[in-house]
């Protein structure tokens, strides 16, 4: 194909953004960071906006994967993006595409009035909490140290999809003409399936397990260990993963009720639902 004379008029990066994990958990060739550690973020295309309106593509992660490939081409393996990075990238794409203002709908807990308040995306992105490898260390004792990373986009998608399928199954069971004994059996099987998936996701978040003389990185060995270790260790791993999920942007913002007779101050959580995030 001949050189397109319109190429100079293609979209250009609107934002250059540092990631909370600083690209630590990508393998070689999976991310191209600038010298200053940032990634370039492009505004969305019309096609990107269309794919985000597809509920099935949102549920299985295809829509966000295509969005990340389109708007953050420096990331070659979008499914490995960590959840804290994903929140920041979504904000950066929104900033590059629509500007700094972001409206959120809130309800005052005091007077119950519902209203919109506007946030500055640049302000949120300027206060991100970065992640270091030491943050992911779980020291069980002198002989056992586990290194973990935050949940990945792929892990979150798997869990969201499984939860959605299980919810549909629950509703089907409630409406079905099966006996109570059969319903209990199917509920138990469903619960075990989700429990197994949760353990697999925890195992997927483990980078390595260090024991005297050996650093274990083999995924199958780690998965087998998670399924057979003391439950107290699994609890510690879950607690660490919850802590790591707090990296990145702040998860709460301060709000003031606009009603003159109220003027109540409180903090409200920020929720990133891709189905509604881009309007």
**Average confidence (pLDDT) per 10 residues, the chain, 279 residues:** 85 93 90 91 93 87 94 95 93 94 90 92 91 90 94 88 77 71 76 85 94 95 95 95 87 89 90 68
Domain extents for the chain? 7-130+248-277, 133-245
pLDDT of residue 276: 66
**Other Cβ atoms closer than 10 A to 171:** 10
What local confidence, expressed as pLDDT, does residue 246 receive?
81
For residue 251, the model assigns a pLDDT of: 82
Which pLDDT belongs to residue 96?
95
Model-level pTM?
0.86
C-alpha 86 chain-centroid distance: 5
Spatial strand order of the sheet with 137-141 comes to 137-141, 144-148, 206-211, 214-216
């Amino acid at each position: 194909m001949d050189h397109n004379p319109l190429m100079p008029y293609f979209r250009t990066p609107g934002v250059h953004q540092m990631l909370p994990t600083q690209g630590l958990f990508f393998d070689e060739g999976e991310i191209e960071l600038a010298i200053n550690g940032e990634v370039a973020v492009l505004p969305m295309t019309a096609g990107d906006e269309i794919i985000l309106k597809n509920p099935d593509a949102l549920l299985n992660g295809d829509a966000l994967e295509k969005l990340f490939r389109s708007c953050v081409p420096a990331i070659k393996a979008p499914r490995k993006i960590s959840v804290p990075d994903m929140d920041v990238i979504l904000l950066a794409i929104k900033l590059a595409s629509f500007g700094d203002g972001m409206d959120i709908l809130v309800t005052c807990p005091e007077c119950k009035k519902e209203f919109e308040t506007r946030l500055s995306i640049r302000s949120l992105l300027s206060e991100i909490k970065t992640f270091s490898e030491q943050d992911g260390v779980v020291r069980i004792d002198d002989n056992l140290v586990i290194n973990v990373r935050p949940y990945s986009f792929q892990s979150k998608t798997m869990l969201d999809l499984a939860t959605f399928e299980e919810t549909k199954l629950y509703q089907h069971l409630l409406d079905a003409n099966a006996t109570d004994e059969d319903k209990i059996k199917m509920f138990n099987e469903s619960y075990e399936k989700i429990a197994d998936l949760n353990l697999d996701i925890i195992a997927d978040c483990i980078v390595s397990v260090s024991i005297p003389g050996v650093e274990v990185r083999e995924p199958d060995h780690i998965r087998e260990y998670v399924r057979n270790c003391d439950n107290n260790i699994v609890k510690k791993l879950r607690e660490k993963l919850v802590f790591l999920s707090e990296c990145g942007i702040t998860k709460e913002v301060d709000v003031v009720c606009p009603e003159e007779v109220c003027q109540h101050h409180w903090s409200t959580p920020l929720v990133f639902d891709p189905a509604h995030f881009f309007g």
